[in-house]
Structures are given as C-alpha cells and as structure tokens.
Amino acid sequence: MSISYRQPGVVLTDRRFTVPLDHADPGGESIELYAREVVAGDKAGGELPWLLYLQGGPGFGANRFVGRQAWLDRALDEYRVLLLDQRGTGSSTPATRQTLPQRGGPAAQADYLAHFRADSIVRDCEAVRAEVTGGAPWTVLGQSFGGFCTVSYLSLAPEGLDTALITGGLPSLDAHADDVYRAAYPRIERKVAAHYARYPQDIERARRIADHLLTHDVVLPNGYRLTVEAFQSLGLMLGSGDGSHRLHHLLADAFVRTPAGHELADAFQEQVQNLLSFAGHPLYALVHESIYGQDARPTAWAAERVRAEFPRFDAAKTLAGDEPLLFTGETIHPWMFETDPALRPLRETAELLAARADWSPLYDRNRLAANEVPVAAAVYHDDMYVDAGHSLRTARAIRGLRTWVTDEYEHDGLRSGAPRVLDRLLAVVRDEV
C-alpha cells in the first residue's frame, strides 16, 4: 500500500516495487526497491510528466529532501519526481555486512553483488516505469554514477526515455579501471595543490597529523583504525564545492593538549570517523571499481595498483623530505577492508569481486551513435571524480548530445548550484540557449 504525506510545499508518496534480482531470470529470486514520489502541493492532483532521479554513488540512496530543496525546487515546477533508492541502497533491500551473510559465504555474496551494476539498475527502472507511468517514457536526471546509469539507459532501453539529463556523469565508454585512475591521480594532485594555495597553513597541519599516525596506533571510537593512508583519503572532500573549506576547518583543530602530551582531539576523531566510515554505504566500496568493468579483464584493485605509479602520494617518503602531503580522492583500496569495521567482514567478498573477469559491457556504441533521445550533459571542466576528457569523448559518441562545460561548479554542482544547474540543462536540451 502506498502512503502519502505532506512536507512544506510538497506531497510525498512512499512507493515499493518488486523486481527480479537477475532480470535474465524473471522467475527467480526477487528484491524490493523503494522510491519517494514527490509533487508540488498545488499540483498534486494534476497530470504531469515524470522525472526519475538517479543518485550518484554507487551505493547511496536518493537524497532525503525536506520540501522543495536544491534542484528539486526547479523540477517540481513541471514534473512529478520519483526519487529511487537504487538496488541495495537506502530503504531498498539492503546489502551490508549484516545482511550479506544471508546469501552464504563470500563466493555467493560476490555473485549476488555482480547484479548491482548499472545494467541491472536500468532494467529496474524499466520495470518501475511500467508500473508508475503506465508505459509512457519519462525524463531521467542522473548525477555522477546516476549519469553512468543514464548512458547505460540510452544503450539498453532508450525507448523508455523522453529526455536524458546528466550532471558530472558522462563515463568513458571503453576505459579500463586502470585508465580511469591514471587520469584521476594527476587531477587529485591539482586539487590538493589548489587547497594548499588557498590554505598554506594546512601544509604543516597535514604533515603533523600524518607524522602522528605513522608513529601511533590510532583507533577511532567506532573501531576504525586511522592509518595515514586513511587520513589521506579525506581528500575525497576536495571534489565538492565547499570541500576545501571543510577540510581546512577539520585540520585546524586536530590536536588537543593532554597530561600525556598532544593527542588527536575527540572532536576531530568523531568528525573523521563519520567522514571515513562506509557503514551507511558499503556498496560504494564493494562495487565501485566494477562500474568500470566491461570485459574479461579484472579490475584487480586498480586504484591501489595505479597509485604505485605516482610515488608522490607515498606519505612516508613525503614526510622523510619537506614536500606537502598529498591527499587522495575517489579511490577504493584493499586496506579499507581492514581499517573499517563495517567492511572487515566483507574483505574476501571484495577480493572475489576485484578478481572477477566476466563483466558484461555497460554501453552500446552503435546504439549511442544512432541515439534519438534529447540529451544534455553538464561537464565540470576539472571534475576530480569524473575525467572531463573522458566525458567529452563520450559526448561526441552520443548522437545529438549537447554539453554545457563549466568551471563555475565542482562535481556536486547539482546540489550546490540549487535550481540553476537543472534549469540550465533543461534550457540546453530544449534549444533555448
């Protein structure tokens, strides 16, 4: 039964759908998907076109807005919006350290999680669309990984799309995970250099924290073991519009004087554990590199292997000299399954996924070259998470796609730009600019 309720300016309806775990076996096991339907309060009874929102990730449920926040405000001017928790996320059937053991051992868990990539998500969307719109095509808005899913949608089921809107999520159509990270580490280094140029005092602060972690065994209150590599991974923050400022404030109050000398402050530790823990989104760590798997080559911990090609990210070598410590970015490493208590039970499962060598293609170049769906994509010119060069090559491969290339926003432009980014994409796709 669907339940409707109100928030300021909107009417929401909780929706639940049953879909096959494996769409190639529709009579087999099923899982549940959860979504929130949102409509402007003064349009609740009207006939409106549908907009499906696909969240970034992988592994995150859709935004939990209150009222008409951020881009949703603009969307509700003309759409009825469906905020879908992609399989395994949010209030959909979960996939975590607590639930995955029901599948069996690590091999069974890895086989199960192999069904949690963009191709399965697209087929989920098509099953949901048949129930929600009665078969009418809808507009899809894909942020980051949601954009990857949207390109898969254009490849696998373009008949389900009226319009496709993509923000920070045009993937390479053929790059292996190794290629993705070889392009990523130089971008990450540029973001770190820009941070230190803005906040030069953070050079010494970051080195001091890293040195402390190299000489002390620090376990955070939730059981997370804070190594220097884990500290470096806070650089993930630098890919968002306000991330540099938030990182600066975090570093400023790292230490407190105690009777035993200087120690990492409880407040610092609490913030860090909240930033680093995968307890709320373990799928992000488990299947992240698999979103780049499209052939018989395993991803094989690509970010970890490729990092070795960039020795400037080695903290111990950096601290032996006088160079600034480099943070890292959107990279997943095997040590995360040792430091994070939410991931430790899943280490063997993650190893099996990293070794998997039978990934199917996620994109169809021929179908994209013949695309007839109106598509607009925002490309952030030095996006730390998604390589702009890869995105622009993909844009040229999708017939009729129009890009808006901007340096006004970082990867989270859809959120930080409030209604402006969505408004611009709609204008682009409608030939109004």
Which pTM does this prediction carry? 0.97
Where b means 16+ CB within 10 Å and e means fewer, 18-39 reads ebbbbbeeeeeeebebbbbbbb
Of 217, 212, 205, 224, the closest CA to residue 344 belongs to: 224
Q: pLDDT of 32-76, one tens digit each?
A: 999 999 999 999 999 999 999 999 999 999 999 999 999 999 999
Distance separating alpha carbons of residues 36 and 13, to the nearest angstrom: 6
pLDDT band at 3 (very low <50, low <70, confident <90, very high): confident
Tokens for 221, please give them: 């209150």
Confidence of residue 295 (pLDDT cuts 50, 70, 90): confident
Cis? peptide before 58, omega within 30° of 0 = yes
- 347-352 long-range Cβ contacts below 8 angstroms, 24+ apart: 348/106, 349/100, 349/106, 349/109, 349/110, 349/113, 349/286, 350/285, 350/286, 351/106, 352/106, 352/107, 352/109, 352/110
Which are the catalytic amino acids? 144, 358, 411
Q: Is the pLDDT of residue 292 over 90?
A: yes
**Listed residue (149, 160, 94) closest to 120, CA to CA:** 149
d(CA 308, CA 312): 9
* Token code pair at residue 10: 């909107």
Residue 2 — very low, low, confident or very high, per pLDDT cuts 50/70/90? Answer: confident
Q: Which domains, from first to last, does the chain contain?
A: 3-173+363-429 (3.40.50.1820), 177-355 (no CATH)
| Cα 259 to Cα 338: distance, rounded to the nearest angstrom | 31
pLDDT above 90 (res 12):
yes
pLDDT for the residue 287: 98
- CA nearest to 189, candidates 225, 239, 151: 239
